[in-house]
Structures are given as structure tokens and as C-alpha cells.
Structure 1
Amino acid sequence: MQTVSNGVGDVRRLADAQWAAARLADTYQGLPESISKAMLLDRFERAAPRLGYGDGLVRLIRALVRVTAEQDWTGRTHPLAWPSNDALCEELQRSRSCVQGLIRLAVRAGLVHMKDSGNGKRWGYRDERGFIVEAFGFDLAPMAARWDEFSDLAAARSLEQAQRRYFKRKLGEIRREIRTVCADAVHRGYTTYDWTGAVDQALGRLPRTPSLGELEALHETFQALLAAVDAAWVKARKFDQTEPRGVMDEAHKEPTTQPRSEGTTYSSPRKEVVEPTARSLDRSVRDGSSEVEAAISEEVIPLSLVLEAVPELNDFLSDPTSAQWEDLVDAVGRAAPLMGINFSALREARDAMGKNRAAIALATVLARWKDGEIRSSAGGYLRAMCERERFGGLKLLPSLYGLKERAAPPRARSFRRTDGGE
């Protein structure tokens, strides 16, 4: 086995790594144009976790790169650093044996090539322009030769971190939605589902440092739980509506084609909510307008139901008794900034749901924001609703019924009288 003098103890164990680093250093031709040593160090530090490099090794490379000059990386000379072990001990706040161990790790990792003088000392000097004339110490040319590798790994890690942030944010939104639906179901007295168990699962502690795969699995798990909770809520709601309530209760009926009276509450036709009429389409063509309200959902949501379920809208409507869909859109547009919802979130909602349906969604957000259910990010809550709308999982009608009955006193059930009773 060939040996080299590197000033860090037993050189025989490092001979193969030293020769590999020397071959890598021979390929050095300088950093690519417009790439500085600071950029190289940044990519290396971001790629280090994916390469399995510890904090001590990263700090050693940082200390060595910082003592080099920018002109050392142009290819005219090799970038060399010649700090002594004592100087590295003071810089890294480590013992001498620890520093020597980190140097051996750097050599084995192919990050530095040891170029020592005949007596094993590190030294060097520069000319009047700052270029290295002669030096012995740490040759960092292998670092520059691995620029493409560090850059690719840093980009991959940035992408992974972005995905991790996305899944963490989505998990928070889904878990809050599960708790909201379950709390509403418990308040209404629904007993057809284990609401407490669903809440306990949503409140469970997540892993401290989950991997990306674990976050994806948790996202799928909580999405399935949210879908199950939503389905159970809708089923319980339908059962509660169809349950016999006696002669004093009013049946929930869909609007008919008969003209509505003054006492009628939910009488807005479907086409006013989710479909443009043929007359409005003709008018849009004549006016040359490209903005046409698209049919987004099959839910039939009358405007009167929205206004009754969300009385908070009255503060933003000039005349709530004669409000139209355009008035509702303008009202929620004025309320959005007060809730901290920026224009981009508002535009995303209108693109995903359509103008009228987005206004309904914003109205429900306003009601929950006023009640204190939404405390952190109303914009994030709205974006979560947009995501559910894209997958067909957003149901606004149950939310409106729930908001309508939040302040209503419980109705006393009356029973039909028998033929012999007074």
C-alpha cells in the first residue's frame, strides 16, 4: 500500500482515499463562470444531509473555504488553505483529536486533498495581487469538481422540503376541518358515528421528524377520515330531516316553480346559483364579455338561505332585503381583507368555484371567523376549501344549514293527538 504524509497520524489507512481525492483534484479547472465560493459553500451545506455528512464535517469545510480568496477558485491556481490544527481547534471549538478525526473524514469523503510539505507543515504565501505562489495544506479542488453534484442534491432537497411544508400545512387544515365537523355533529346530538374517536384521531400527536413518505401516508389517512366524517354528517343530517317531528314542525321542501310569497325563505331557482341563463349568455355574447359564470357544482343554494344563515353579511350590504348575487359578491370582496384573505386567495377561489359559489364559501368563512372558529389563517381555510372543490368534496349546503341553526333555540317536539285526547 502506498503512503502519503498528511500530518494527521496513521497515513496508511488514508492512502486509497488520498489517491482518489488527488485524481478528482486533477480534473479541477475552476468553478463555472458566475459561481462564487459562497455559492459553492451554500450548495454543499444544503446537500450535506443527503450525503450523510454531520455538522462537524460541515463546519470544518466552512472554515477552510472561508480562509480562501475568490481568485483561488478561478482555475489559475488550486484553492488551498493552510490553517494549523491549533487554529482549527480554536475556530471549531473542538479538541485536537476531534479535529484530526474530522480531517480524516473530509479526506475519506473526497472533499479535500492533503498537500503537505516535506516536513508535514502547512504554509503558503501570495504575490502582490493576492494569487497563491506556493502553498501546502488543504487542497479544496475536489469541492469545485463536485459542484454539479452538490447543486443537484441541493435542488432535490429544496424540492423535498417544499413538499414536506405542503403536506404539513394540508395536514393541519384537514385535522382542523375534522374537528369542526365532529364538534358540530356532537352539538346537534348525532349518534350515528364515533365522533369522539374521530376527534381523538385528529388530535393525535404526529411524529416529531416524519419523512416525506410518512407525511404522504398521514395525508392519505386523514383525507380518508375527513371523507368518512363528511359522509357520516350528511347521512345523519338527512336522517334528522326525514324523522317525523309532529304537526307543528315544517317540512324541508325544495323550491317549486310556483311564484314565491313574502314568507317563503328558500325559493331561489337553481339557474341563479350555478348555471347562467340563456338570456345572460346571449347578453354576454352581445357585450363581448369573456367572463361567464360556469356550472361548478350540483348543489342548489338559494341566495335567501345564504343571507339567513350568515347575518354577518348585513354589515357589508347596503340593503339586505333586496340584495342580489352581485351584491353578495361585492360584500364578501370587502369582507375578505378584514379576515386577512389576500387577493390571490380570493382569485383562486373564484377560479376554482365560480364567482357566486366562491362568494358563498367566503360567507361561511366570514361566519366562522366572526364566531372565533377560525383564529389563525382565514386565507388558508379558504384555500383548503378550493382544494376540496377541485376533487368534488366541498359541500356548502350542510354548512349553511348548520350556520342557520347555530343561534336558533331548540324546537320543542309536539306529538300528534290521538282521537280520544284533547
Structure 2
Amino acid sequence: MQTVSNGIGDVRRLADAQWAAAKLADTYQGLPEGISKAMLLDRFERAAPRLGLGDGVVRLVRALVRVTAEQDWIGRTRPIAWPSNDALCEELQRSRSCIQGLIRSAVRAGLVHMKDSGNGKRWGYRDDRGHILEAFGFDLAPLAVRWDEFADLAAARGLEQAQRRHLKRKLGEIRREIRTVCADALHRGYGGFDWHGAVDQALGRLPRTPSLGELEALHETFQALLAAVDAAWVRARQEGQHEPRGVVSEAQKEPTTQPRSEGSTYPSLRQEVVEPSARSALSPSPAEPSRVEAPLSDEVIPLSLVLEAVPEVADYLDDLAGASWEDLVDAVARVAPLMGINLSAMREARDVMGRNRAAVALATVLARWKDGEIRSSAGGYLRAMCEREKVGCLNLLPSLYGLKDRFGKTPPRRSER
């Protein structure tokens, strides 16, 4: 136990935490330049969970800081508040005994220092300019001295909350991908894996307020499940347990958690243009499962034409000058969710058109979506393109040349139309 003077010769016994608050109050020199009491209160409230402070203590400190004036925090005088217990009871809607308990908790936490008058009453008065001349009550100087501590704790909590939001978003994406792959496998009649069990696990309820460690553990668990689902999908496809219905040959499913194989896309990715191939291509031999790809149309589409006709896709490419077909495929895959296109529509486009041709179709959809031509459903527009591709009526070259000319020509007059 220690003792400290209250300024008029009286002394009172303080616990260790109260003595530390008194020592902090003695080092008070005002808030740092440019910091207001509102900023101090904001940082304190954000750091309170890390300090283990309850809502009652936070509300008490908020009520005390609000009754102070801005000039009380510049260092000329101590920031002292002198509301009575009855006023605090009315402000916080708590009983008198509860208010007294909150005051003791705030003092023990080193947030306030009690500066008592001779008769134990709280009072004070100011001059004509609003500066405190004399006051007794709650000395809030420890709050100002601990500004750096509150700011660091608030920043750490903000970083943790950002990580939590990122992990929650990634968990949602992974669980949706698991359900999509399992639904596709069940539709095709694939066996050799508990698809229903994986779907049930992906649909399970997560903890209501999980900690950061729990979210990281859940993320690892669902990532492992997605890898197992992807591997089972590819294994079932390669083993040819059931031939897919409704199409002669379809694109090779690639696991989302594994690197792309060298032959999983068109051989023309290492060239400048998409090579034409017959629409009635025969099914690939089992010896080369990685060469499986949807039949192409007879169109020859240069990559340079796509990048020139749809400059909007450049915002999603790391290196426009050295971009390849693989970069275009990755870019449109990232931009598709922004247009409201779900995974099933993208998967259908890749199965019907092939990866590269589907990327070109998505690029044209992006251009029209940016120009405002597509206002309702970009996913429905892409599915309509897939239907036209199935009957051989989809021509992408005229669309690309038309999109290219939109920057070099003015809109035609009504008479010309």
C-alpha cells in the first residue's frame, strides 16, 4: 500500500494500481498536438477489449470525458470531471452501488485518479474563458498519458479484425467451391468419394463469434477438404468411371489448390493465336487425359486483338506487354464475380467453349458491362452465349472488331442507322 496527497494536506491509502494511476497523472503534460479528446476516446474504446475492460467501465469513462472541455486537455490544467454519483446513475441507467463498483474498477485499471476535496465532495468552477480554476473529482490525466498505448492496441485490434474479415470471406469462397464441385460430381454420377458428406460439412454452421485462431483452423480444414474434393473429381474423371452426358468432350477439370499442368490448356498458349480445330473433334485417348479440351470453333482469335478491343481487362493484368493466354484466363476469372457471374456459369462456359475461348467471351461481356449495355444479368448474358456456341452460332471475331472500333469511330447519326 502507498499514500498520496490530495493537494490540501489530506492523504488516503491507495492500492498498487491506484498508486500507478496517481504517478501517471503526475506526468501529464497534455495530449499530443493534433489529438482531440474525441480521438482519445475513440482509441480507448477500440483498445478496451484488449485491456479486458467491460462495457460498464467504457461507458463510465465515456460519460466522464464528454463532460470535460477541449481546453482541459492542452496541459494548462488537469482534465477533471466532477459529476455526482446521482448524475452518473441517471446517465448510465445503473444503481448507485453499481456506479460505485464501476468507479473502483476504473481506478484499479489505471484509467482515472480520484482527486478528493476535504469533505469528500466533487465540485469545481471555471473562469470566464472556460479554464478550470479549481476542481475535485475524477482526474482523467492517466487517459491522456496512455494515448500511445491505446493507439497501439487499437491498431493491433484493427489488424486482427481485418484478418478475421479476410478469413471469413475466404471460408465462404472455399465452402461454395466445395459445394459446386460436389454438385457437379453428383450430377455426372462420379463415385469413389463421399460427395454428400463433403457437402454436409461445407453446409455446417460455423461458430457464432469465432476467434482468430479458430478461423485459421477452420480455413486449414476446409482447404484440405477442397483439395481432397478436387483430387477425387480429377481422379474420377481420368478413370472414366462415367462418361459425361450431353457433350462429346469437355474441358479438363483442374484442382483449384494444385498448380496447372503444362498440357491442361490449348497448345497455342505458347504461340500468338488460337489454332483452329474441327468442332466434331473426337474424344481424347485415355493415355493423354491432360489434353482434354472442349471443341473449338473455326475462328482464329489473336490475343493481341482481344487486349486491344477490350482495354478494360488491362486493369486486372500484372504485365500487359508480356501477357499470355493464361494471364487472360486468370484475369477474367478474377473480374467475373465483380459482374455477378457465379462459378457455375463460368464452369459451363469453359466446358462448352474451352478455357481460352471462354476467356474471350468473358472479356467481351466485361466490355459491354463497363459500357452499360448489360444492365440486368451478366451471368445470363454469358449463358446465352454458351447456348449459341452449342448450336454453332457464336462468332466472337465480329464482336471483338466492333468493340475495337468503338474507340475510333463516333456514334452514327439517326439517318445513317
Q: State the TM-score, normalized to the length of structure 1.
A: 0.65
Report the CA distance shift for 1:75/1:147 in structure 2 as closer, same or farther (over 3 A). Answer: same
Kept in 2, the 8 Å contact 1:365–1:378? The answer is no
TM superposition shift of 1:202: 0.8
Cα-to-partner distance string for 1:159-218 (whole Å, 9 max, x where unaligned): 100100010000000111111111111000001211111111111111111111111111
State how far apart, in whole Å, the 2-side matches of 1:143 and 1:37 are. 10
Q: Which amino acid aligns with 1:179?
A: R
Aligned residues: 323
TM superposition shift of 1:365: 8.1
State how far apart, in whole Å, the 1-side matches of 2:229 and 2:81 are. 63
Cα-to-partner distance string for 1:320-348 (whole Å, 9 max, x where unaligned): 845443455567777x8xxxxxx86x346
Q: 1:229 — aligned with what?
A: 229
Q: 1:165 — aligned with what?
A: 165
* Residues 167-316 of structure 1: pairs in structure 2 closer than 5 A: 167-240=167-240, 270=267, 272-273=268-269, 275-276=270-271, 305=295
Per the alignment, in what secondary structure is the counterpart of residue 150 of structure 1?
helix
Q: 2:350 — aligned with what?
A: 400
State how far apart, in whole Å, the 2-side matches of 1:139 and 1:66 are. 13
Report the CA distance shift for 1:241/1:378 in structure 2 as closer, same or farther (over 3 A). Answer: farther
Kept in 1, the 8 Å contact 2:4–2:13? The answer is no
Per the alignment, in what secondary structure is the counterpart of residue 90 of structure 1?
helix
Q: 2:281 — aligned with what?
A: none
Report the CA distance shift for 1:250/1:174 in structure 2 as closer, same or farther (over 3 A). Answer: closer
Between 72-81 and 13-22, report the one with greater CA deviation.
13-22
Kept in 2, the 8 Å contact 1:31–1:75? The answer is yes
Per the alignment, in what secondary structure is the counterpart of residue 125 of structure 1?
strand
Report the CA distance shift for 1:203/1:167 in structure 2 as closer, same or farther (over 3 A). Answer: same
Q: 2:119 — aligned with what?
A: 119
State how far apart, in whole Å, the 2-side matches of 1:73 and 1:43 are. 16
Q: 2:27 — aligned with what?
A: 27
Report the CA distance shift for 1:185/1:89 in structure 2 as closer, same or farther (over 3 A). Answer: same
Report the CA distance shift for 1:201/1:328 in structure 2 as closer, same or farther (over 3 A). Answer: farther
TM superposition shift of 1:400: 2.8
TM superposition shift of 1:50: 0.5
Task: Give yes or no for the alignment of 1:325 onto 2:303.
Answer: yes
TM superposition shift of 1:3: 7.0
What do you get for the CA RMSD once the two structures are aligned?
A: 4.1
Report the CA distance shift for 1:378/1:189 in structure 2 as closer, same or farther (over 3 A). Answer: farther
Per the alignment, in what secondary structure is the counterpart of residue 39 of structure 1?
helix
State how far apart, in whole Å, the 2-side matches of 1:183 and 1:33 are. 60
Report the CA distance shift for 1:86/1:41 in structure 2 as closer, same or farther (over 3 A). Answer: same
Cα-to-partner distance string for 1:54-76 (whole Å, 9 max, x where unaligned): 11100000111111111111111
Q: 1:60 — aligned with what?
A: 60
User: What stretches of structure 2 of length at least 5 have no aligned partner?
Assistant: 253-262, 273-289, 355-385, 391-417
Kept in 1, the 8 Å contact 2:5–2:12? The answer is no
Per the alignment, in what secondary structure is the counterpart of residue 172 of structure 1?
helix
Task: Give yes or no for the alignment of 1:86 onto 2:36.
Answer: no
Report the CA distance shift for 1:379/1:250 in structure 2 as closer, same or farther (over 3 A). Answer: closer
Task: Give yes or no for the alignment of 1:360 onto 2:310.
Answer: no
Kept in 1, the 8 Å contact 2:317–2:323? The answer is no
Q: 1:36 — aligned with what?
A: 36
Q: Which amino acid aligns with 2:351?
A: Y
TM superposition shift of 1:221: 0.8
Kept in 1, the 8 Å contact 2:25–2:113? The answer is yes
State how far apart, in whole Å, the 2-side matches of 1:380 and 1:32 are. 50
Kept in 2, the 8 Å contact 1:174–1:226? The answer is yes
Q: 2:286 — aligned with what?
A: none
Report the CA distance shift for 1:397/1:95 in structure 2 as closer, same or farther (over 3 A). Answer: closer
Q: 1:283 — aligned with what?
A: none
Moved over 6 A (4+): 2-6, 249-254, 299-302, 330-334, 362-366, 379-382, 396-399, 406-409
Q: Which amino acid aligns with 2:325?
A: N
TM superposition shift of 1:222: 0.8
State how far apart, in whole Å, the 2-side matches of 1:107 and 1:234 are. 64
Cα-to-partner distance string for 1:365-419 (whole Å, 9 max, x where unaligned): 89xx7xxxx7xx557979xxxxxxxxxxxxx999833787x9899xxxxxxxxxx
Task: Give the share of equivalent positions with the same residue, in percent.
Answer: 67
State how far apart, in whole Å, the 2-side matches of 1:111 and 1:380 are. 52
State how far apart, in whole Å, the 2-side matches of 1:251 and 1:87 are. 79
Per the alignment, in what secondary structure is the counterpart of residue 159 of structure 2?
helix
TM superposition shift of 1:18: 2.9
Cα-to-partner distance string for 1:41-63 (whole Å, 9 max, x where unaligned): 11100000001001110000011
State how far apart, in whole Å, the 2-side matches of 1:3 and 1:218 are. 52
State how far apart, in whole Å, the 2-side matches of 1:97 and 1:354 are. 71
TM superposition shift of 1:150: 0.7
State how far apart, in whole Å, the 1-side matches of 2:223 and 2:251 are. 32
Q: Which amino acid aligns with 2:154?
A: A
Report the CA distance shift for 1:300/1:28 in structure 2 as closer, same or farther (over 3 A). Answer: farther
Report the CA distance shift for 1:301/1:140 in structure 2 as closer, same or farther (over 3 A). Answer: farther
